[in-house]
Structure 1
Amino acid sequence: MEVNTMESKYKTQEEKYEYIAKQHGGYYRHNFTDHAYLYNLYFPPKDVFNHLKDNIHNLVLNYPMAQNALAELIGDVIDQPAERIVVGNGAAEIIKILSGSLAKKLIVPVPSFNEYANAAPEGIAVEFPLEFPSFQLDVDKFTAEAIKVGADMAVVVTPNNPTSLLVPKKDLIRLAEKLSHSKCMLIIDESFLDFADNKEQISLEQDIEKYPNIAILKSMSKAYGICGLRIGYLLTANKEFARKVRDGIHIWNINGFAEEFLRILPQYKQEFEDSCKIVKADRDIFYKQLCDIKGMIVFKPDANYIYCRLPDDAINGPAVTKSLFIKYNIYIKDSVGKTQPDADRYIRIASRTQEENTKLITALKDVMYLKE
């Protein structure tokens, strides 16, 4: 069966761009190449889809499991006890609880994933500028600012979105230890860590019991290629903090398809690891291709997307984004709306297949100096 398209929503490619630019998903219905959203194109394997199809009647007709049983399923995947885990309808549900309900004063380095600040009531979120132009996190300055503003929750996304840069594990540990004296919880978002090299040595998941003021948040959509299933989780050894987050989640927050995916996921551990290797290999080639563009500043990525500063004599990010879409039907993200200097000079490009990445390089070179 063909995917239902929505061509009636627009008459020209420019109208299509204006429509898409206001959306937050559903891109597959609009027939363009999506270099904006960030997910694993090589997982899940066909066997997973076949399993879900074979069980569709039970999955649709019956109530799914509730929180405790779902936490056990996640625990089987990450080798952690269920009492440390809270399962969300995507990481977004948990972010809404953290920023919107629990934090009295939250601090987050920027540019970063906007939802942490957006989900907070007015006056709750404090944005801490990353070192410019390197976009590196200065742990000492961040700690000092967190203490100064009286933050009870600090957020670090690693690898960061949009910069695709990793925060070293030793820096995160030092940050957690510094913040513990002021009773500040450190939320570490590891949603893209599966695409980093040596992720086992970088992740704090297996060290979580040592740091009661750390909670790890992870969206499974990106690494596992399941954006439509909506699964995320929070992991912490702080039982009181876990309880507070869990109290904000309703009884049936995960649907049956997501539950069944979690149930069978441990069977596909090797396939998942192999898929991440392919993603990283494609990304590394893509990175080299972008570096070859004269005047482009390209940040070496630790995730499956790449952050770039356009050449000074090229058109700006919004113009490049629009021109790519109108002329080549390719969609990327500019950084307008991010809190950073020169936001309109930066673009974030998701790595796809080698063939698609190469087509984007050709298209990007063509539109970078177009004048509207």
Structure 2
Amino acid sequence: MKEGTQEVMKHKNTMENKYNTQEEKYEYISKQHGGYYRHHFTDHAYLYNLYFPPKEIFSHLKDNIHNLVLNYPMAQDALAELIGCIINQQSERIIVGNGAAEIIKILSGSLAKKIIVPVPSFNEYVNAAPEGKAVEFPLEFPSLQLDVDKFADEAIKVGADMAVVVTPNNPTSMLVPKNDLIRLAKKLEPSNCMLIIDESFLDFADNNEQISLEQDIDKYPNMAILKSMSKAFGICGLRIGYMLTANADFAKKVRDGIHIWNINGFAEEFLRILPQYKQEFKASCNKVKVDRDIFYDQLCSIEGMNVFKPDANYIYCRLPDAAISGPEVVKRLFIKHNIYIKDSVGKTQPDAHRYIRIASRTQEENNKLIAALKEVMYE
């Protein structure tokens, strides 16, 4: 091995292994927000499709790597056309983000004078808002269902100009029925409150094409659909998300917050070739659902475990009363079995320390998780 290569490998090992024991590894990983693949553990924490993209997409990107690296990617209008071809929508209704997180930052951080979010939910909607601009609306406890009528009343009461609903919700993995969302939009419209519906995990739900509101968007001028493509399409590293709305003024305000080259060439090329793989994508989501449903039944068989029936590719559980806390379960799973899941201590809800969220992976990996979970749950 050449001296230069040795130095590169030494630096690489130093950067990736800032720990000497499994306990130190846990402390390091628990503070990270990605790059997990570098650290060799089973990731039941992040939520993505393991069965997509197919190898042909990787081969295509590899074969075109020179052009993708050396040339500027396209800007917003052309990117919106690519998304429009995928979702069968007019490009002027679409804003393409560097992941949904970029658009959330614009929505919560810049546009909303006051935003209301049901909790527990995806934390970024509240985290991205300036201090005092976000209102947390507690879900019904212990069912963790959203009462849209109470939510609408509270949104109007606090003077919110933006309301967010994630469906299926993260972390609960439960849908909000389509008719409830339509009723919510209509109740909010007289108060000039935009309803943001995050459908990032909807591809894993049954009958998702019938329950999505994307094809009904022109009926509701105070509605926008937000979607992270990382989850369903398994492309976390490409960073693609989009917002869809028939409200031209609102679309312009969001688009004005996007810089000119926010999407890289690899992400652009992925969008360009994605329509060729519709059947493969549908098959991959069906495979995810099969694995998840088996995993759900296995979790339900654990005595005392309260398991919420999932509509997404992850499952939310309340630990048995006699079990140790969620954070302790997470730590023990990692240290003893090199498996990483999420607790809910960072979520706004009663008894957050009793809840865990587990991403469904392959059946073999899910089986190992079940056995390890049973082993570490009790003192």
Q: TM-score range by the shorter chain?
A: over 0.9
> In structure 1, which of residues 307, 318, 321 is the aligned counterpart of residue 316 of structure 2?
307
The separation in 2 between residues aligned to 1:178 and 1:148, in whole angstroms, is 12
Structure 2 gaps of 5+ residues are 1-8
The separation in 2 between residues aligned to 1:200 and 1:37, in whole angstroms, is 24
Partner of 1:80: 89
Question: Are residues 1:155 and 2:159 paired?
Answer: no
Question: Are residues 1:65 and 2:57 paired?
Answer: no
Partner of 2:174: 165
> Displacement of 1:140 after TM fit?
1.1
- Aligned AA (1:45): P
Partner of 2:238: 229
Partner of 1:341: 350
**8 Å CA contact 2:112, 2:162 repeated in 1:** yes
RMSD: 0.9
Question: Are residues 1:329 and 2:338 paired?
Answer: yes
Partner of 2:253: 244
User: Per the alignment, in what secondary structure is the counterpart of residue 181 of structure 1?
Assistant: helix
Overall identity of the aligned pairs, in %: 85
- Aligned AA (2:356): I
The separation in 2 between residues aligned to 1:144 and 1:54, in whole angstroms, is 54
User: Per the alignment, in what secondary structure is the counterpart of residue 83 of structure 1?
Assistant: helix
Question: Are residues 1:18 and 2:18 paired?
Answer: no
Question: Are residues 1:277 and 2:277 paired?
Answer: no
**8 Å CA contact 2:17, 2:39 repeated in 1:** no
Partner of 2:375: 366
The separation in 1 between residues aligned to 2:180 and 2:100, in whole angstroms, is 24
The separation in 2 between residues aligned to 1:138 and 1:49, in whole angstroms, is 43
Structure 1 gaps of 5+ residues are none
- Aligned AA (2:36): Y
The separation in 1 between residues aligned to 2:238 and 2:149, in whole angstroms, is 39
The separation in 2 between residues aligned to 1:140 and 1:267, in whole angstroms, is 41
Partner of 1:97: 106
> Displacement of 1:91 after TM fit?
0.1
> Displacement of 1:7 after TM fit?
5.4
> In structure 1, which of residues 109, 124, 128 is the aligned counterpart of residue 133 of structure 2?
124
> Displacement of 1:8 after TM fit?
3.0
CA deviations on 1:89-141 (whole Å, 9 max, x unpaired) are: 00000000000000000000000000000000000000000000000001111
- Aligned AA (1:237): A
The separation in 2 between residues aligned to 1:121 and 1:183, in whole angstroms, is 21
> In structure 1, which of residues 140, 146, 149 is the aligned counterpart of residue 155 of structure 2?
146
The separation in 2 between residues aligned to 1:173 and 1:326, in whole angstroms, is 46
Matches within 5 A, 1:185-264: 185-264=194-273
> Displacement of 1:367 after TM fit?
0.1
Partner of 1:176: 185
User: Per the alignment, in what secondary structure is the counterpart of residue 101 of structure 2?
Assistant: helix
- Aligned AA (2:317): C
TM-score using structure 1 length? 0.98
CA deviations on 1:237-275 (whole Å, 9 max, x unpaired) are: 001000000000000000000000000000000000000
**8 Å CA contact 2:168, 2:174 repeated in 1:** yes
Number of matched pairs: 368
TM-score using structure 2 length? 0.96
The separation in 1 between residues aligned to 2:209 and 2:67, in whole angstroms, is 36
CA deviations on 1:56-114 (whole Å, 9 max, x unpaired) are: 00000000000000000000000001000000000000000000000000000000000
Partner of 2:4: none
User: Per the alignment, in what secondary structure is the counterpart of residue 128 of structure 1?
Assistant: strand
> Displacement of 1:297 after TM fit?
0.2
The separation in 2 between residues aligned to 1:139 and 1:305, in whole angstroms, is 23
- Aligned AA (1:77): I
User: Per the alignment, in what secondary structure is the counterpart of residue 9 of structure 1?
Assistant: coil
CA deviations on 1:3-32 (whole Å, 9 max, x unpaired) are: 966553000100000000000000000000
The separation in 2 between residues aligned to 1:129 and 1:101, in whole angstroms, is 24
**8 Å CA contact 2:108, 2:125 repeated in 1:** yes
